[in-house]
A and B are shown apart, each in its own frame.
Chain A
Amino acid sequence: MHAAALNQYDADAGRVVIDEHLGHPGIEATTLDYGQINDDMLAMLEKPHPSYFLLLLGFLTALVLGVISLAIQVDVGIGYSGISHPIMWGFYITNFVFWVGIGHAGTLISAVFYLTRAPWRTAIYRSAEAMTVFAVMTAGLFPILHTGRPWLAYWLIPYPNERMLWVNFKSPLLWDVFAVSTYMTVSIMFFMLGLIPDMAILRDEALRRGHKLKALIYTPMALAWRGTNHQWVHYMRGYLIFAALATPLVFSVHSIVSWDFAMSSVPGWHTTIFAPYFVAGAIFSGLAMVMTVLIPVRVVFGLEQYISTHVVNSVCKVIIFTSMVVGYAYATEFFIAWYSGSPYERAIFYFRPFGDMTSWTLTGDHNITFPQIAFWLMVFCNVIAPIPLWRYKVRHNLVAVWIICGLINVGMWFERFNIVGSSLQHEYDPASWGEYWPTIVEVGITVGSFGFFFTLFSLFAKTLPPMAIMELKEAANPPMKHSPKEH
């Protein structure tokens, strides 16, 4: 029809012509009417298929495994893990950085793309935001459980105690405390804010369909939302401000996380490139994780109309971009290591890809260890693997995209390990060079963290609307008696 035609690609104009009144391109939902959107979305919250419970069980098992491992470690001591002198940080900090990174995609999509009016975000931002919240929750656990005395972790919070002992605000770890907790708080508030109108929708629909129990649950959550213009006017303004606040926040958080390393004297850590490098990596891994999760969701719930190929396509483009940024960062690190002339920097950047220098070993032989494997895995997954995405065909092949995104997740995890693990193995003092191998508890806790994340997410997918119903409507054609042109 006329409206649809307007939103197609216009060859003469060389772009997609957007009519504010006709919603946005790429979302077939523009032709759906409001009622149908409600029905489609609510359909997702119906009683789940048994396979869902099977999946959930799997995630829960992983979670339990993690909890048991953690219990053992806290009881016996952190020494139960493979961390030791001189590699004082291992899997846990790796996981921390990894999960914080995953979180960033959500905020990026919900806030940054909101400000930059990237319309294709609408369908995926709710899930992405949920991921942010869950990922940051997961990440937040690691700094606590990796300490020697987790039961005293609250000492990192500046609170007036009986001795007026304060914390050291010069410590990057304390910046972490502030950055991560702020990020978590803001993400949760942002997430909740977006949910309010949808809660009202769920409430009314439940009442309409006579679901007493659901109504009982959703009514308080809807916070008496009516959708009057008085509410909308403040809501929309507040939402905009939130987006505006979350945007600098998201960039600050991973910069600060990167400073945990960059502020130290450790060769391979002590570099100014880390902040942008980490942020790019975060977005990179985050978007990959979004795809890894949403492509199955799309297939399972049949959401072709909402998570359209256009959405996947756009995400892929951002992934390509960030992949290039990350690859560039790798190269720069090596250049700077050489250019700095510092033997320590050069040593570590020789060690990462190639292992020991012959001049280090007693008899001049050469050997390969864990870090080298991690390094090359990282390079392959993050720089090589995404290259096919340059092709339109590949971007539109869900299976290919899904596999590549999976690889990227692996690669990004190893990037973090490569940074955390390898540098500590070969620091300044050769007499205390060491090797690092994780033990069962570290693996257990790592697996547990994935269990934790996916359990939360699958619960979310079935209890809260995984897409912002209200925004879908906003993006759809408003019901018109007369064609808008006549105005």
Chain B
Amino acid sequence: MLVPPTNFEYAPSEAYNYMTTCRECDAACGMMVTVREHRAQKAEGNPNHPLNQGALCARGQASMQALYNPDRQAAPSSKAGGALTWEQGLQEFTQRLNTAGGQVVYLGRPETGTHKAFVAEWLQAVGGGRKVTFDLLSRNALIEANRIAFGKAMVPDYAFEEAQMLINFSSDFLESWGNQVENSRRFVNMHAYQDGKRREFVQVSPQVSLTASKADRWVVINPGTEGVMALALAHVVRNQKGGYDWLERYLEAYAPEKVAAVVGVEAEKIVELAEAFSNETPSLALGGGPVAATEAAVEMQVAINILNAVAGNLNRTVVFPEFSPAEDTSHQQIVDLIQDLNAGRVKVLVVDDSNPLYGLPPELGMAAALQKAYVVSLSSLKSETAGAADLVLPALTPYESWGDAAPRAGVRSLQQPVMAPVNVFDAKAREDVMITVAKGVRRSAFEGITTYKDYLQKAWMQVQSETGRSGLFDNFWVSVLEEGGVFGSTPTTNVELANSVTRVSLPTPAANEGLTLLASSSLLKADGSGANKPWLQEVPDPMSQIVWDSWLEIHPDTAKEMGIDDRDVVEVTTSQGTLSLMAYYYYGIHRNAVAIPIGQGHEGSGAAADGFGVNVMTLLPAKQDASGNLVFSGTAVEVKGTGSKGYTVNMDGNPRQAGRDIAAATTVAALASGEEGHGGHKRRTEIYPDRAETAGYYKPYRWGMTIDLDRCTGCSACVVACYADNNIPVVGKERAAVGREMSWLRLERYFEGYGDEFETRIVPMMCQQCGNAGCEPVCPVYATYHNPEGINAMIYNRCVGTRYCSNNCAYKVRRFNWFSYEFPAPLDQQLNSTMTTREKGVMEKCNFCVPRLTYAKRQAKALGRDLRDGEVMTACQQTCPTQAITFGNLSDPNSRVSQLAMRDDMEQRDRQYEVFPELNFKPAVTYLKKVNTREVGGHSDSAEHA
């Protein structure tokens, strides 16, 4: 669907999809929101959008819970006078601006769209002032380095798919570094095993993030030595490839044997890696992220630029657009702002939803500084910063208001209100409020503009002429609403390495003799904005499998020396203070480092966020790198065990799969030699006839699924999508602790091997819709049975709750309603109206999104035909950025899923396998093995030998 139809009739199942833009992070993916009964019920990616191409990340999926968050700002209020009417609020705001005398600061998120100009015009209208952007996870160091190296202060476009080999220096590009969805897709297209080959991905870092867990090799380096390593590699690569003679002297200092000690990697290993890297052209090296954000972050990025240059990747895998619509995101602005505030040079500070008070290290003194000015919060959600504001004017969420974004040159994405504002909150669009007050300050302000929509349309008239679309603007506007934006190609320019880089001297990092603290990024909480969304708290962190909490990643060897047990409470002390949290044994971290994920430990961001975990930022000193960015890692830290056991809630029953090959992997070599497959997973001969022979069974559909573990990055978007589409309740920390979580789809994480040679495997596990299900025969009342389309149907209303089905399910994917769960208002408005909610005492589980199937089949029937392959997608499949999940009709031999699953000729299978084939449950879900470049030790640990 597109713009609201005139004949809007509200059958609960009738869905209308509106194209808009996701504003959870500055990546600004295109979003398609499903609206039923006037309520936005599900967020999906906009298939037209060039960046995310229909997929959405976990946070994008969960943005729905920002819209319906019970802790949204409900009504205008002031610190002095408490609750206000809008008139009073606006009046107060206006007259504050009047008396500000131009000493106004708009503190907001970096914008790429019309909003930039709007804020500028607004500031002018209210008599001057400036905008300060705040983005905790800024990539400013990279931008600065690119300015130095190439004279282009912008983030390049990384052409993963072109690269023959990828070296990643600590960045978390599959999590919150850049556009996660696009990165994932393009990375997997490069990395996934295809036509007998796999291009290698090497992680060079002191810590293994979810991103790093996809790496074929993990090179453990000392914290903060990414840059040195990059130059060491560059040294070898240049010697091999030649060229860049003027770099020779510069790189001399970084000959592997010289830096081996600093980096903590043997020279031979460095050389070997470098040679591999130079043999593969084009290749790609990238770096960044909080773990690498030391004082030398800019220099490190320069070093990586040099590496890319000598490896001949410039303009091939590292491509620069002509211009970038992005705003400067240097934290220097914040530092200056705090100075100005303290000096009293700011009268009125306007803050949007960004939350510096939570994100910034306390040492910067943001809290105190905010007292110095009159703070007006135009936020939609509760937050620490909003809590400190003198005046709170509730803003609408992006779902309810107009806006736009230009995440990349040539890509303009429109954000439209997909529904009327949620009825329980008395909020107004942020920009509309600003326009109103501006007019209050100066009558002439915003001539001929009453709402931000007008302003936006004016801007888009510009866009129309730029993109050379002829015709009436109204038609153009409608087409934009339909499309979700204007998606042109990105104009690029060639760059080359500036000689000036030799002037950049990389400081050799002073290694702490003690432990080093790394503030690692969090996939789900990101800069902390994710924390107040119940889904993102309940969905386990894919690596640690911990929910509703923070943890301290510590290497078992280190911990044992210090007498710290797994799950012990430890006290973590830096110069800035002490936090006590849970120690989590993790092989994926340098022995002299500990890591704490960012994003938890809120105090005033709502019920779902407050009091869960700790805020690692409070441990960091207010240090900055050359680009003015905050330093996240490298802080010396002391860890002390308290001896008391902790109460973290982690969802993995056991960290290892005991050789059961639930998450199976093979190697390139094995595949090449063809020793995989050959009916390796052949099923037993059947005693009983196949259900297909039962009248009316599997005709025309038998639904099935394949999951490619080699493509799966563990981003958890599918899990959140499943929560969103199936009305799955969130149970909270205490209940999750005793295994009452309700997730129909979970990511099982298994570790293989020990020490630095360990391997992580992630396998999405949902109901396998078995042909010979274990759950079915044991149900005394037929509450579950095998339906004609091969789905293991679950009839909630017939369920008595003996729970035998769950006992007998080898995959343990059935969830039981131990209580009558609630969806605290207005979260209940998000409930999918084509799906039931379940009552206390009944079993539930994944059903391949039956409502979607039914809907699609009805559409097809209206057209008088059967469904075509790919016409219907499950929620998890739809949102998967890497298309690891394929769903379709197994009865149709030509469907994509049949092609992938290869159930008909077991002989030809290589990566395909079903979980627990020996039980002969005949699952309808086929997994494709993860492909490794090497065998991991301890992988074949099996239950036999204890």
User: A-side interface residues toward B, CB under 8 Å?
Assistant: 76-79, 82-89, 143, 146-149, 152-153, 155-156, 165-168, 170-174, 177, 260, 263-266, 343-344, 346-347, 350, 354, 357-364, 424, 427-434
Determine the distance from Cα of A76 to Cα of B840 in the docked complex, in whole angstroms.
Answer: 9
Given A88-B803, A430-B662, 8 new contacts (CB under 8 A) = A86-B806, A168-B782, A343-B943, A357-B946, A359-B658, A360-B654, A363-B585, A431-B765
Residues of chain B in range 166-188 having any CB-CB distance to chain A below 8 Å: none
B10 within 8 Å of A (CB atoms): no
Determine the distance from Cα of A427 to Cα of B653 in the docked complex, in whole angstroms.
Answer: 11
| A-side interface mostly | loop
Chain B neighbourhood of A177, CB < 8 A: 780
Knowing A86-B739, A360-B658, A433-B653, say if A173 contacts B841 (CB, 8 Å): no
Determine the distance from Cα of A76 to Cα of B807 in the docked complex, in whole angstroms.
Answer: 23
Q: Which of A170, A173, A266 contacts B802 (CB 8 A)?
A: A173
Chain A neighbourhood of B840, CB < 8 A: 77-78, 148-149
| Contact in complex: B655, A85 (CB < 8 Å) | no
28 A–B contacts, CB within 8 A, in A order:
A76-B819, A78-B801, A85-B741, A85-B806, A86-B739, A86-B812, A88-B806, A148-B816, A155-B800, A168-B779, A170-B777, A171-B779, A171-B804, A173-B780, A174-B780, A177-B780, A266-B808, A343-B942, A343-B943, A347-B658, A359-B659, A360-B658, A361-B655, A363-B556, A429-B653, A429-B748, A431-B748, A434-B739
Determine the distance from Cα of A87 to Cα of B807 in the docked complex, in whole angstroms.
Answer: 7
Determine the distance from Cα of A264 to Cα of B779 in the docked complex, in whole angstroms.
Answer: 11
| Contact in complex: B806, A347 (CB < 8 Å) | no
Q: Which of B659, B781, B916, B943 contacts A167 (CB 8 A)?
A: B781
Min Cβ gap B344→A in Å is 55
Q: Which of A147, A347, A360 contacts B800 (CB 8 A)?
A: A147
| Contact in complex: B780, A167 (CB < 8 Å) | yes
Min Cβ gap A355→B in Å is 10
Chain A neighbourhood of B944, CB < 8 A: 343, 346
Determine the distance from Cα of A76 to Cα of B660 in the docked complex, in whole angstroms.
Answer: 38
| Contact in complex: A168, B781 (CB < 8 Å) | yes
Determine the distance from Cα of A148 to Cα of B804 in the docked complex, in whole angstroms.
Answer: 11
Knowing A155-B798, A172-B778, say if A428 contacts B656 (CB, 8 Å): no
User: B-side interface residues toward A, CB under 8 Å?
Assistant: 556, 566, 585, 587, 651-660, 662, 735, 738-741, 746, 748-751, 754, 765, 774, 777-782, 798-804, 806-808, 810-812, 815-820, 840-843, 916, 919, 921, 938, 941-946
Q: Which of A168, A427, A434 contacts B810 (CB 8 A)?
A: A427
Min Cβ gap A275→B in Å is 17
Determine the distance from Cα of A431 to Cα of B766 in the docked complex, in whole angstroms.
Answer: 12
Min Cβ gap A420→B in Å is 9
| Contact in complex: B658, A429 (CB < 8 Å) | no
Determine the distance from Cα of A431 to Cα of B762 in the docked complex, in whole angstroms.
Answer: 11
Q: Which of B651, B740, B921 contacts A79 (CB 8 A)?
A: B740
Q: Which of B657, B741, B800 contacts A148 (CB 8 A)?
A: B800
Determine the distance from Cα of A346 to Cα of B659 in the docked complex, in whole angstroms.
Answer: 13
| Contact in complex: B777, A77 (CB < 8 Å) | no
Chain A neighbourhood of B798, CB < 8 A: 155, 165
| Residue in A closest to B763 when the chains form the complex, CB atoms | A431
| Contact in complex: A362, B656 (CB < 8 Å) | yes
Min Cβ gap A361→B in Å is 7
| Contact in complex: B659, A343 (CB < 8 Å) | yes
Q: Which of B662, B807, B820, B942 contacts A429 (CB 8 A)?
A: B662
| Contact in complex: A357, B943 (CB < 8 Å) | yes
| Contact in complex: A149, B799 (CB < 8 Å) | yes
Min Cβ gap B297→A in Å is 33
| B-side interface mostly | loop
Determine the distance from Cα of A432 to Cα of B845 in the docked complex, in whole angstroms.
Answer: 15
Q: Which of B754, B799, B816 contacts A88 (CB 8 A)?
A: B816
| Contact in complex: A430, B750 (CB < 8 Å) | yes
| Residue in B closest to A154 when the chains form the complex, CB atoms | B800
| Contact in complex: B806, A78 (CB < 8 Å) | no
Chain A neighbourhood of B921, CB < 8 A: 265
Determine the distance from Cα of A76 to Cα of B817 in the docked complex, in whole angstroms.
Answer: 12
Chain B neighbourhood of A152, CB < 8 A: 800
Determine the distance from Cα of A427 to Cα of B919 in the docked complex, in whole angstroms.
Answer: 13
| Contact in complex: B655, A362 (CB < 8 Å) | yes
What are the 5 tightest A-B residue pairs by CB atom distance, in nearest-first order?
A148-B801, A79-B818, A148-B841, A433-B653, A432-B812
Min Cβ gap A253→B in Å is 17
Chain A neighbourhood of B782, CB < 8 A: 165-168
Point out which of A84, A354, A362 has the most chain B C-beta atoms below 10 A from its C-beta. Answer: A362
Min Cβ gap A38→B in Å is 49
| Residue in B closest to A420 when the chains form the complex, CB atoms | B807
| Contact in complex: B656, A430 (CB < 8 Å) | yes
Chain A neighbourhood of B779, CB < 8 A: 168, 171, 173
Q: Which of A76, A146, A431 contacts B653 (CB 8 A)?
A: A431
Min Cβ gap B600→A in Å is 23
Min Cβ gap B566→A in Å is 7
| Contact in complex: B802, A354 (CB < 8 Å) | no
Determine the distance from Cα of A152 to Cα of B802 in the docked complex, in whole angstroms.
Answer: 11
| Contact in complex: B802, A147 (CB < 8 Å) | yes
Min Cβ gap B587→A in Å is 8
Determine the distance from Cα of A82 to Cα of B735 in the docked complex, in whole angstroms.
Answer: 11
| Contact in complex: A84, B738 (CB < 8 Å) | yes
Determine the distance from Cα of A172 to Cα of B942 in the docked complex, in whole angstroms.
Answer: 32
Knowing A147-B800, A359-B656, A361-B656, say if A77 contacts B818 (CB, 8 Å): yes
| Contact in complex: A362, B748 (CB < 8 Å) | no
Determine the distance from Cα of A255 to Cα of B816 in the docked complex, in whole angstroms.
Answer: 29
Point out which of A77, A83, A263, A266 has the most chain B C-beta atoms below 10 A from its C-beta. Answer: A77
Min Cβ gap A110→B in Å is 31
Min Cβ gap A95→B in Å is 15
| Residue in B closest to A76 when the chains form the complex, CB atoms | B819
| Contact in complex: B812, A85 (CB < 8 Å) | yes
Chain B neighbourhood of A82, CB < 8 A: 738
| Contact in complex: B803, A89 (CB < 8 Å) | yes
Determine the distance from Cα of A146 to Cα of B658 in the docked complex, in whole angstroms.
Answer: 32
Chain B neighbourhood of A263, CB < 8 A: 777-778
Chain B neighbourhood of A266, CB < 8 A: 807-808
Determine the distance from Cα of A143 to Cα of B802 in the docked complex, in whole angstroms.
Answer: 8
| Residue in B closest to A439 when the chains form the complex, CB atoms | B738
| Contact in complex: A264, B804 (CB < 8 Å) | yes
Chain A neighbourhood of B806, CB < 8 A: 85-86, 88
Determine the distance from Cα of A168 to Cα of B777 in the docked complex, in whole angstroms.
Answer: 8
| Contact in complex: A431, B754 (CB < 8 Å) | no
Determine the distance from Cα of A153 to Cα of B754 in the docked complex, in whole angstroms.
Answer: 50
Determine the distance from Cα of A170 to Cα of B739 in the docked complex, in whole angstroms.
Answer: 30
| Residue in B closest to A366 when the chains form the complex, CB atoms | B946
Min Cβ gap B758→A in Å is 9
Determine the distance from Cα of A89 to Cα of B808 in the docked complex, in whole angstroms.
Answer: 11
Chain B neighbourhood of A265, CB < 8 A: 774, 808, 810, 919, 921
Q: Which of B585, B774, B841 contacts A78 (CB 8 A)?
A: B841
| Contact in complex: B818, A429 (CB < 8 Å) | no
| Residue in B closest to A172 when the chains form the complex, CB atoms | B778
Determine the distance from Cα of A148 to Cα of B566 in the docked complex, in whole angstroms.
Answer: 35
Determine the distance from Cα of A146 to Cα of B741 in the docked complex, in whole angstroms.
Answer: 20
| Contact in complex: B746, A431 (CB < 8 Å) | yes
Determine the distance from Cα of A346 to Cα of B944 in the docked complex, in whole angstroms.
Answer: 7
Min Cβ gap A379→B in Å is 19
Determine the distance from Cα of A105 to Cα of B832 in the docked complex, in whole angstroms.
Answer: 55
Determine the distance from Cα of A146 to Cα of B800 in the docked complex, in whole angstroms.
Answer: 10
Determine the distance from Cα of A29 to Cα of B659 in the docked complex, in whole angstroms.
Answer: 67
| Contact in complex: A346, B818 (CB < 8 Å) | no
Min Cβ gap B552→A in Å is 16
| Contact in complex: A359, B653 (CB < 8 Å) | no
Chain B neighbourhood of A358, CB < 8 A: 946
Determine the distance from Cα of A112 to Cα of B370 in the docked complex, in whole angstroms.
Answer: 88
| Contact in complex: B941, A359 (CB < 8 Å) | yes
